[in-house]
Structures are given as structure tokens and as C-alpha cells.
Amino acid sequence: MGTHQKIDKIARRLISRNMDHARIFPSTQKILNFEGMQGPDGLKRKSPGVDEPEHFIKPGNDDGILIGIIRDHHYNLVQALVQDNPERAAFEAAWMAHAITDGLTPAHHYPYQERVNELMQDKDYKKLFGVKIKGIMRGTNLAEAARNNWLYWGAGGIMTKHIAFEYGVAYSITPTRQKSLTPPMSRSSFKHIDYEKVFYRSLARINSLHMYDRFLETGWTTQLAMDTHQVLIPEIIRAVTLNWASCINEAMEIKNAQK
């Protein structure tokens, strides 16, 4: 639906407006080349269950997996910027932004994997003609498999609700001008950035709205749409922007030390 792409576009524009060394960062076009089928979601479709990045997080009870992914992309992005490798930098920037965006999206705060594990009696994926099919729940017998698949895909199922929330976010911002979603940021905020604190600060603010809990109770409402426009998307953009900015700052420090 283009949500990740819109967030990346706005974040890249903020980098250009507020950083003197924005030129070392890959262009919007290069970054967007590593979204869609060349992004994390594409990996899940091409090889389900194989080295899939986990972008779920429990606010207040973090297992450290997601922030570890962000750290890895952060380190690799800094190195790519130092080495003047725009293709690798674009890849790392896109995948890091995707991880941050997913991690701050309320649907990713639900204990999704725990619920899936409860439904998957067999840990392997269902296969059709030898090809794995993601999301097909299995059971010890046909009746149990049918029940598990209904709880996953049926009305009110865990994946049905997950997709419905994310589509609601996408549809609500599709007609919105980028300027309306852009958070106010001063040039001073682009200096001395602790990117992990930035992420957790945004996570706490978004989690305090309990958007996914409210969605599960009432579905999409006008207030949820307003919270998406006024808080959720601007906060995600702020986090992506500052994480990218911290990489530029670190890369410039290394470059200057090497002179």
C-alpha cells in the first residue's frame, strides 16, 4: 500500500533539510529500490520460514530481538557510508527503516508468534507440490486443522485482524499530503542522537495510546484515524529520520578521524 515508501520519502526529505552532510546518504530513489519485493516483506513471500526478520516487540517486556536487528542495520549502514558504498547504504537504510516502522506499528505489539505457536501443532509449513505455504495452520486431525485455520484467517482471526489494522493505516494516510504527516523537527535535534533511546521513546508514546487494543474492540474509528495522522505516522517518521541521522553523524566522525 506504500506506507513504508511514504515514510521513507518524508524521512529522507527531513535529512536533506536539516543535515549539512546529507549528500553522503543514498537518495530516496535508491532507498525505495529496497522496499516492496526487495524488502523484508518480499523475503517472507519468496522463502517463508527461512531467515525471516522478526519485527515484533512487546512494549515494556522487550526480548531484545528487534533492537538487535536495528543495531545490525545501524552498524552496517555506518560502514557503508564510510566506504562510500551507496548501494549497500541504500539497502541498510531501507531495511532498518522497515524494522523501525514495523516495530512502532501497534499491530506488531500483539503477541503474534505466541498465538501462532499455539495453533501450529506441526512447526513445519504446509506444503503444496513441495513448496512451502506460509500461514496454513496444521492440526493433529482434519477438524483441528480447520479450527486452527479459522482462528488464524477467519473473521476475527489473528492474521485477519493484523492485516485489517495495517490496511486501515495505509488507507487512512493514502490521500494525506506528506506535509501533514511531517513532524516538526529542529536542526538541533539532529545532533548527539542516541538512536536506541529515540526508538524506545517513540515506542512508549505510541504504546500509551493502546491503538491496537482499541481496534480489536471497536474496529477502525474516527479517533483511531486521527491518532494515526497526528501521532503514529509522525512519530514513526521522527524515529526513522533520527536513526538515519545518527548513522550520518557517526560516519562523518569516522571519516574526519581518517583524514
Domain extents for the chain?
3-110+159-258
User: What pLDDT shows up at residue 114?
Assistant: 61
Residues 95/98/103/108 CA torsion (nearest 10 deg)? -120
User: What pLDDT shows up at residue 31?
Assistant: 97
Place of cell 506528506: 178
Q: Which of 179, 235, 193, 257 is nearest to 9 (CA)?
A: 179
Q: Was domain 3-110+159-258 assigned CATH 3.40.50.800?
A: no
> Taking the CB of residue 242, how many other CB atoms lie within 10 A of it?
25
User: What pLDDT shows up at residue 130?
Assistant: 43
User: What pLDDT shows up at residue 238?
Assistant: 98
Question: Residue 128 burial by CB count (10 A; 0-12/13-18/19+): exposed, middle or buried?
Answer: exposed
For the chain, give the percent of residues with pLDDT over 70. 76
Place of cell 531467515: 51
- Whether the CB-CB separation of 3 and 170 falls below 8 Å is answered with yes
* Measured CA distances, 163 to 72, 99, 113, 139, 209 (Å): 27, 17, 15, 23, 19
Place of cell 499455539: 118
- Whether the CB-CB separation of 244 and 93 falls below 8 Å is answered with yes
pLDDT by residue, tens only, the chain of 259 residues:
589 999 999 999 999 999 999 999 999 999 999 997 787 776 665 545 545 566 789 898 888 999 999 999 999 999 999 999 999 999 999 999 999 999 999 988 876 666 555 555 444 444 433 444 455 555 556 555 565 554 555 556 666 777 788 888 988 888 888 999 999 999 999 999 999 999 999 999 999 999 999 998 998 999 999 999 999 999 999 999 999 999 999 999 999 999 7
Q: Tell me the whole-structure pTM to 2 decimals.
A: 0.82
Amino acid occupying residue 59: P
